[in-house]
Structure 1
Amino acid sequence: MDRTDDPPELQKSDVVPPTASAYLDPKYWDERFAQEDHYEWFKDYSHFRHLILQHIQPESSVLELGCGNSQLCEELYRDGINELTCIDLSPIAVEKMKNRLLSKGYKEIKVLEADMLDLPFEDQCFDIVIEKGTMDVLFVDSGDPWNPHPATVDKVMAMLKEVHRVLKPDGIFISITFGQPHFRRRFFNDPEFTWSIEWRTFGETFHYFFYILKKGQRSSESYEPVKASEKPSMSLFHEELEGEDFIFRTNIDEM
């Protein structure tokens, strides 16, 4: 993870919680966003720009879920994407994001306090929905990654149903995540959804996953089979993930 833009006075010990379950606590995020100005989960925009611009056009209407204090929306705006809406559950994150964007003159970008499990938007109103590390938080304390707790399944499915609902008939959901295909596919392939499934990877010594789900284009052969080389192992948890890797390591340790 890149932390090059963090102020020097903000140390990892200031934001890394003592237990992974803290990531599920809205109070944790409010306190974190109050002191932290910028953090990028799963690399910054430069690492996956070549992938994302294949699917977003200048005229696309884009919704970003769980924007936090990421600079993703700013980078998209600088690449000519003007119809951007960002949401986050934290009022502190939303207020700070609004102020930051206004200070840079990015008045067209909308920032709203909202829950991705219950989106305040009409059906079929976005061309693109993007999440970067937001869905991963739902898997904290999920138990066995091959058979997550029912509560985890309910939350993830609620999120995906809302994403599917607000996407236009030919819209695209982009998920940038640590989650490997053999863990995500069971959710993405639910019969309720009509999207096709593709994925790419990015990163150097450690790979992150870039999923492309195209609504209305599902077929029985719309996804790649899991390869033997994709079986999870402890070696996946590279030191590159720094101090916050245990949010994901928690699940794999229980296998």
Structure 2
Amino acid sequence: MDADQNPKASEKKTIGPPTTSAYLDPHYWDERFSDEEHYEWLKDYSHFRHLVQPHIKPNSSVLELGCGNSRLSEGLYNDGITAITCIDLSAVAVEKMQERLLLKGYKEVKVLEADMLDLPFSNDCFDVVIEKATMEVLFVNSGDPWNPQPETVTKVMAMLEGVHRVLKPDGLFISVSFGQPHFRRPFFNAPQFTWSVEWITFGDGFHYFFYILRKGKRSSADEELSQSHDKPLVPTISMFHEELEGEDYIFRTNIDEMD
């Protein structure tokens, strides 16, 4: 969620809405994407490219959830991964992304208007599903992070069940998040899923989490982790100036305020 690193004044945007509740409003996103050309949540691709490369092959079919106006798909494309499908709930975001990619000659990339809670794809059709901070929106107004509201649980599980369904039997789900493992594992390790769960941290200020979920690779160790109750990781407070000004600071402190 760091602010766009491009120095052009036209791409400098003010911090987001006064409350995170607005992130749940589709009209907010349509209005925002109408004016905003580019914004990267949770760092741009260059910050975690070294974590992605070992897991995505050039011939992989990739689904990106909640593409917004991120350049993640462009980064993947420039690394030789061209079978990419991007979805977003905002028709404005989809239209602008389509135009941008066509202008750059990325004709193979598909951009569709779709809801990640009801994925319009057949079973077992993607090698990789990737999301960057899209899942975070589902936790807005979730209440106590130790015991989220039932509505939050329902939405998160709908998303994960859809991702698990569209992944091929040996597919991979990559989630780039600031959600701490202690709070993500109960969802990721729900009994209906067959994937293993691991994560890597990255970032210079906030510690972001790069989750890797491998379908069909669940083990007894994953079962034990899902039942453990370790103390949650404490995020670092050493932040760069741009992170203090960025939208992820507001978003994260609101979500984590009860940690």
Considering only aligned residues, what root-mean-square deviation do their CA atoms show, in Å? 2.0
Structure 2 CA distance for aligned equivalents of residues 155 and 96 of structure 1: 27
Q: 219, 222, 234: which one pairs with 1:232?
A: 234
C-alpha displacement of 1:4: 1.8
Deviations 1:161-188 (Å, cap 9, x if unpaired)?
0000000000000000010100100100
Deviations 1:158-217 (Å, cap 9, x if unpaired)?
000000000000000000001010010010000010000010011123210000000000
Matched, 1:247 2:251: yes
Tell me the TM-score normalized by structure 2: 0.91
Structure 1 CA distance for aligned equivalents of residues 162 and 238 of structure 2: 31
Structure 2 CA distance for aligned equivalents of residues 190 and 237 of structure 1: 34
Structure 2 CA distance for aligned equivalents of residues 55 and 231 of structure 1: 25
Tell me the TM-score normalized by structure 1: 0.93
CA contact (8 A) 1:61 1:83 kept: yes
Q: How does 1:52-63 map to 2 (within 5 A)?
A: 52-63=52-63
C-alpha displacement of 1:109: 0.3
Identify if the C-alpha distance between structure 1 residues 129 and 241 changes in structure 2 by more than 3 Å, giving closer, same or farther. Answer: farther
CA contact (8 A) 1:125 1:168 kept: yes
User: Which blocks of at least 5 consecutive residues in structure 2 are unaligned?
Assistant: none
**Corresponding letter in the other structure for 1:126:** F
Matched, 1:8 2:9: yes
CA contact (8 A) 1:196 1:217 kept: yes
Q: How does 1:30-69 map to 2 (within 5 A)?
A: 30-69=30-69
Q: Counterpart in 2 of 1:216? A: 216
User: Which blocks of at least 5 consecutive residues in structure 1 are unaligned?
Assistant: none
**Corresponding letter in the other structure for 2:234:** P
Deviations 1:122-146 (Å, cap 9, x if unpaired)?
0000000000000001100101111
**Corresponding letter in the other structure for 1:4:** Q
Q: Counterpart in 1 of 2:146? A: 146
C-alpha displacement of 1:249: 1.5
What is the aligned length?
253
